[in-house]
Amino acid sequence: MIKGITFLRPAASATDFERLTGFFSALGFTPGKGWQEESSRGAAFLAPLGNLEVIEGELPSEASVFVEVTQLDAVREAALAWFRSTGVDPHVADIADTGWKSRIFTVEPAEGHKFSFWEWTDPLKGKPLAVEGDLCAEGMRFAIVAARWNAVITDRLVDGALDALLRSGAARRHIEIVRVPGAWEVPAAARIIAERVPAFGGPGSVDAIITIGCLIRGETAHYEAIYNEVARGIGQSQQETGIPHTFGVLTCENLEQALHRAGVKAGNKGFEAAVSAIEMVSLRRKLLQTGEGA
Ligand code: DLZ
């Protein structure tokens, strides 16, 4: 039974590899499972849907990879912003109409690697299967509330969260980092920040809060009690203020497990919490804008 399809993009050099992975991350692709061996490595990028298309006749562009999107102008802006951040002249074509009721542009993030992004203009086509948040963080404001306890872990989680936000287009000046003593204090600080939004009469404003901490069972007295209260407090702050709070508080059996979840072997949960925050801000905006998220 056919299960999935993978298109390989051989990068000619480490520089090309970094450029391509940076580009796809900046455009909001969900990272897949990468791999690293002695003489080769792979970075995977996932899309919700894919298909293999056989074509006879003229191709719509020189690119061999076509990425269907829902907000073509925003994607092009994100591509331009990524080029600006790398200091290389943008290889981003203008958006053009196609002959099949859609618009398209082609981008070349590394020499010889052309990708076309397109969206349907026909309102009856290409409707998203579900209302979903996008992963473009441009213009969004975030707070990261991080516990200092187990800083060797939480610092890595903060780095992961920053990496995700910046690579998704957030501006550094729109990211506030708040440190608290331990996980226990995370909900209270998050709540203060969440209530600072204009709707609550305060001066500051964030679109989402990323909470970060690390509880280690073997080293934490009353581990369950602390964990339950931290989770409850963060959830309550989210529900009662309406500001998305994402959960980057690790609960681990030991330090080794915590390290794995902080970027060593099992991803970086700070990165994941930040990506979820971006998605929730976008989703919230869509749902509030239309009432049905169209
Ligand atoms: C006291 C304590 C302990 C034992 N363990 C942890 C931990 O594993 N992770 C963490 O973030 N904080 C821990 N703390 C500190 C508490 O969260 C809190 O900061 C202090 O009890 C002060 O209120």
- Residue-wise pLDDT for 115-159, tens only, equals 999 999 987 776 666 888 988 898 999 999 999 999 999 999 999
pLDDT value, residue 294: 40
Which CATH fold would you assign to the domain 142-293?
Rossmann fold (3.40.50)
- The CA distance from 155 to 158, in Å, is 5
Q: What is the mean pLDDT of residues 71-96?
A: 93
pLDDT at 131: 86
Q: How confident is the model at residue 290 (pLDDT cuts 50, 70, 90)?
A: low
Tell me where in the chain the CATH 3.40.50.960 domain(s) lie. 142-293
Residues classed as catalytic: 222
Query: Measured between alpha carbons, how far is 177 from 137 in angstroms, rounded to an integer?
Result: 17
What is the pTM assigned to this prediction?
A: 0.64
pLDDT tens for 153-177 read 999 999 999 999 999 999 999 999 9
State which ligand 1 atom lies nearest to the alpha carbon of 222: 4
Q: Would the pLDDT of 292 be above 60?
A: no
Q: Tell me what pLDDT residue 30 has.
A: 82
Q: Is 68 in the pocket of ligand 1 (CB under 6 A)?
A: no
Distance 146 CA to ligand 1 centre (A): 12
Q: Is 106 in the pocket of ligand 1 (CB under 6 A)?
A: no
Q: Give domain 14-120's CATH superfamily.
A: 2,3-Dihydroxybiphenyl 1,2-Dioxygenase, domain 1 (3.10.180.10)
What is the distance in A from the centroid of ligand 1 to the CA of 186? 10
The tokens describing 166, both together, are 């910046």
Ligand 1 centroid, distance to 211 Cα (angstroms) = 15
- Cα of 262 from ligand 1 centre, angstroms: 18
Q: Phi/psi class of residue 142: alpha, beta or left (left: φ > 0; alpha: ψ in -120 to 50)?
A: beta
Atom of ligand 1 nearest to the CA of 215: 8
- The yes-or-no verdict on residue 203 having pLDDT over 80 is no
Residue 223 in contact with ligand 1 by CB distance below 6 A? no
Instruction: Report the nearest-CA residue for atom 18 of ligand 1.
Output: 182
The pair phi, psi for residue 41, each rounded to 5°, is -155, 160
- Comma-separated ranges of CATH 3.10.180.10 domains in the chain: 14-120
Mutate to test the pocket of ligand 1, among 145, 148, 214, 215 (most ligand atoms within 8 A of CB): 215
